[in-house]
Amino acid sequence: MFYYVLKYVLLGPLLRLAFRPRIEGLENVPSEGAAIVAGNHLSFSDHFVMPAILKRRITFLAKAEYFTGPGLKGRLTAAFFHSAGQIPVDRSGKGAGQAAIDEGLRVLRRGELLGIYPEGTRSHDGRLYKGRVGVAAMALGAGVKVVPCAMVGTFELQPPGRRLPRMGRVTIRFGEPLDFSRFAGMENERTVLRAATDEIIHEILRLSGQEYVDMYAPDAKAAQDEERARGRRPKGRSRGPAGGAGADGRHGAGR
């Protein structure tokens, strides 16, 4: 109940006023049945702007740190994310990726809409990074389509480190659903998961117009931080999503 109060009464109208979202391709999001919405992740605001404009409820896999913060602020944050229908996922430890996949599959098997950020984390510089294959594992495991989504403008309004967003206009684009039924029964094949993930990232790239870097975002940030520490300008390796992407089989999922 609080989810709908939050969406239609408390937070939704405020977000529409602050961001004046321009929505493209909303008809590509199925009106019923299980599906995955896979998007780029540029800002903390993404957690709220996309759900606010969707007609259906969408559940995201959220990092467990949002639910375990100390003090009053931590309890309020946890209550907020629980009320918004978000599912905590522990991203530490050897089985973290599989735990996230299992949670996502439970949502999909209930016939619901699942939101995922294939990069696994927010982009620290506005570029699009290599996707974790968990999104493909869930799509193939549940036999559902994936709707690519691009958030445009949220990085400029609330980049990482900025507590409150600036006011401005954002664009949310939904692409045509991607059907991976040709890979049915192959969800444990590493090369298949990588190929499907690269296809999803390619569509997000086409919708967003971002620069693509063929590295995982945390690795790229660590390399940039190291180069800055050495007093050199950071460099990124920009290529197409499928260019040189290996079959790593790492089942990272969601945020």
Is 238 within the bounds of a domain? no
Average pLDDT over residues 47-64: 83
Is 154 within the bounds of a domain? yes
Q: pLDDT-based confidence at 246, cuts 50/70/90?
A: very low
Is 169 within the bounds of a domain? yes
Q: How many structural domains compose the chain?
A: 1
3-state secondary structure of 87: strand
pLDDT at 213 over 90: yes
Chain-wide mean pLDDT for the chain? 83
CATH code, domain carrying 183:
3.40.1130.10
Average pLDDT over residues 210-216: 96
Is 254 within the bounds of a domain? no
**Is 39:29 a contact under the CB 8 Å cutoff?**
no
Structure confidence at residue 244 (pLDDT): 41
* Residue corresponding to tokens 């590295």: 215
Is 236 within the bounds of a domain? no
Structure confidence at residue 162 (pLDDT): 80
- Domain with 188, as residue range(s), is 1-222
Q: pLDDT-based confidence at 3, cuts 50/70/90?
A: low
Is 241 within the bounds of a domain? no
Is 92 within the bounds of a domain? yes
Is 188 within the bounds of a domain? yes
Residue with the bigger pLDDT between 28 and 101: it is 28
Residue with the bigger pLDDT between 74 and 162: it is 162
pLDDT at 176 over 80: yes
Query: Using one digit for the tens of pLDDT, what is the confidence trace for 113-155?
Result: 999 999 988 899 999 999 999 999 999 999 999 999 999 999 8
